[in-house]
Chains A and B, each alone.
Chain A
C-alpha cells in the first residue's frame, strides 16, 4: 500500500467527512462540497495514468484509500469513481465531474435497462453499467429512480434510447467483480473501525465497578472480533496484489482490465466472501459489546454497522462467491493446496 496517498486522504477525510457530514448526506443533503474537496485534491484521479494527468497508481497502491472509504463511511462511491475515471480516460471518453457508481444491468420485458441496488447511486452523477458484456456510462438524471433499503443506494431504470446513446467502453468492465473488489477493502476498513470503537468502549464503559473489558466474556468477544477483522483484511489486501501466473485462468470470469489488470478473479471472490462473512460476525459482536447505546441513532457505531450489512449484500454475498471458488476447486487437475497457493501467494519482488 502507498501510505503517502492514504495518509493524505485520511487527513482530508478526518477534516471533511466527519459523522455529521455523513449523516447530512444520508438524509438528502447534496455531496457536492465533499466531492469537490476529494476531487480537487486529486484522489479521484489516483489511478488515471500519468500521461492523462493522474497519479497512475495500481490497485495495490490505492488499497489503503479504499479501506479509508470504508473506515470513514464516505457517503459517495469514491472507490468506484477512481476505477471508472481511469478506464474512461484510458479509452478517451469524457469524464464527468461527478462521482461515478457501478451498476449491473438487466433488460426488462418492457425493453428498458434496469440496474438494481446501485451502491452509492444516490450520490453519483453517472453510473458505469455492464449488461450482457457491454459497459456504458449512463447519467443518473435520465433514468427513473427507486429508493433502496440502504439510504445511499439507488435502483435506476433507463429507456433503451438512453442506453444506445451512452458512451460505450471499447473494452468492457466486469462491474460486479470490480465492485466486489473495492467493497472487500471498504468492508475491511469498516471492520477495523468497528473493532477499534468496540475496544475503546470496552475500556471506557464501567459496570459492576470496573470497565466491561475486564470481564472474560467481553475479552473473548473482542478477541474474536480481532480474528475476524484481521482475516478479512488479509483476504482483501491479497486481492489487490498482482497474482502469480495461473491465478487469472482459475475461474471462468474474463477478469479485470485496464487499471485493474493482473487482479485475479479467484482472489476477489475469496476477498468478498471472507469480508462479507466477517461483516456479519463483527457487526453482531460490536452491538453485543456496546449494549443499548450502540443501538441509538445518535451514537456513531450504526453508521458503520449499517454499511457492513449493506456492503455484504452488494456485488454478491458470501454464498455467491463461495460458488465461484467451489467451481475452481472442482477442477480435477488441481489439489486444494494449489488452489490456495494461487489464491494467496505473494509474488516476490
Chain B
C-alpha cells in the first residue's frame, strides 16, 4: 500500500500540489439483526478505496476511487489537484496548515478475541436467546437484538513525509423491547438506544454485556411503561443517567466546540455555534462541576486512534475546565485561528470522504457523588435514563431531549415510573444548573456510532465518558399537557 500512496503523492506534486495526503482504507463490516424471533439480516460488506487530498493554488481538492491500482491512484491524484485549482477560482486567503512533525508508525486497537473469527452460529445463538427472553413478556410485541463488527485498516501518507498504518476493530450489540397498546408505543433498550453499546474491542466486549441476563429487566420495564403516566409539564430537578449525559455532552458541548463550526464552515448544513473565537479562556460554559475533555487516547473508546486522518498524534485536551471554556477541537487548517496547533480531531468516514473536525472521546469528567447519595439528596426531582429522541438548534443553544424511562424522586427516594420523559433548555443555562456529578465508580465510556456531519454526509464513531449528574430547575414534560 505504501508504494501506491507514494505514487499518488508523487502524481499530486507533479500536477502542482504544494501539499497532498493520501489514505487507503480497507474496511469490513458484519451486521446481524434478529427481530421477533426471525433473523432479519446477516450481512457482510467490504469497502476498499483511496482518497487523495491536495492543495494547489492555495485551495483544497479531493478525489477518491474504489480502484486502488497504480494507474488509478495517479489519475485520482491529478483529479484532486484539478479540483483544487477550480476551488481557487472562488477562494480567499491561501490555505495554511499548522506545523506538524511527520508521523510514522503502526498502531492497532486493543482486542482479546477477534470478533470476525467467532462463528456466526455463536453470534446468532446469543441474539436469539436474548430475543426469546424479550418475547416472553406478553406486552412486548416488537423485539430487536443486533450485533455489529467493523474492522478498518488505514494507510496514510503525506508529502511532508508522514507514513502511518492503523488497524481498528469495533464491536457493538444491543437489545430493544417495544410494548404497543391502544395507539401507543414505548421502548426500552440495553445497554443503550440507537445502536446499543459500542467499543473498540473484540468479542469479549459482547460477552461482557450479558444481553440475555439483562433482557428480563428490559422487557418488564417496557411492559410497565405502557401504564406509566407521562411526566407532568413543569420545572423539576433532574438526575440524568450516564448515557443521556453522554449525549447531552455530545450535542451541547462536543458539536459547539468544533472549531470548523465556530468559524462558520458548517453553517449551511449542521450549523454554526454560539461559541465565538474570543470566548476561549473567558466564557462561563457551565458550573464549576463541569469539566469536559477531548481525548483520543482513552483505551477501548470509539473515539480512539494513534493519529487522526491528517496524521496528527492522538491527544488529551481540555475543552471546559471548572465551567470555563478553555479549548476547541481543531484541525491543522483551523487551529491557527485560536493561536494553537491542531489537537488532532480530523476524522474521515472512509476512503471516499475528506477528514472533518470530529469528536474523539469527549467526556464530562467524573465528580465526587455516590449515585444513591445523590438521589437521597434530591427532593421532588426525577431520574431519567436512556435517550429516545434528540433535537438542538443550529447554534447548539436550544435543545430538547426525550428519554425512554424515568422515576420520580420524592423525599430522596426513587418512586413512580414515568414514560418518555422529555426536557428542554438553553446550553449555558442548563450546564450552569449542574450542581453534582457522580464519581468515577459510576463513570463509563459510551460509544456512539451514528454522529452525522458534513456534505456529503459522514457518520463518525465517537464516544463520551459520563456518569449520572444532577441539573436544577429544568423544564420537563414539553408538549405533553
B is a partner of A: no
